[in-house]
Structure 1
């Protein structure tokens, strides 16, 4: 039992947040996040 999957998701969120300056709406950021995590 490890936290690897959760740490991977956290890493994706941090990476997207650092590149999220182009998103004007949180909804767009959230949709991009869901697409990235589910792929």
Structure 2
């Protein structure tokens, strides 16, 4: 990666990473809730 693309895309990459992390946490908690109410 070049410094240029880092400087311009860095913020957006961080936001996307945070978004993905949030989605993963939501999915994990949903799976946890589902596994408590349903047995697979």
TM-score (ref. length: structure 2) = 0.49
Rg (Cα) greater in structure: 2
Say yes or no: does 1:7 pair with 2:22: yes
More helix by share: 2
Instruction: Spell out structure 1 runs of 4+ moving beyond 4 A.
Output: none
Output aligned runs, 1:20-35, within 5 Å.
20-21=35-36, 22-23=39-40
Unpaired segments ≥5 residues, structure 1:
24-39
Instruction: Report the aligned-residue RMSD.
Output: 1.1
Structure with the bigger RCO (C-alpha within 8 Å, sep 6+) is 1
- Give the number of equivalent residue pairs: 23
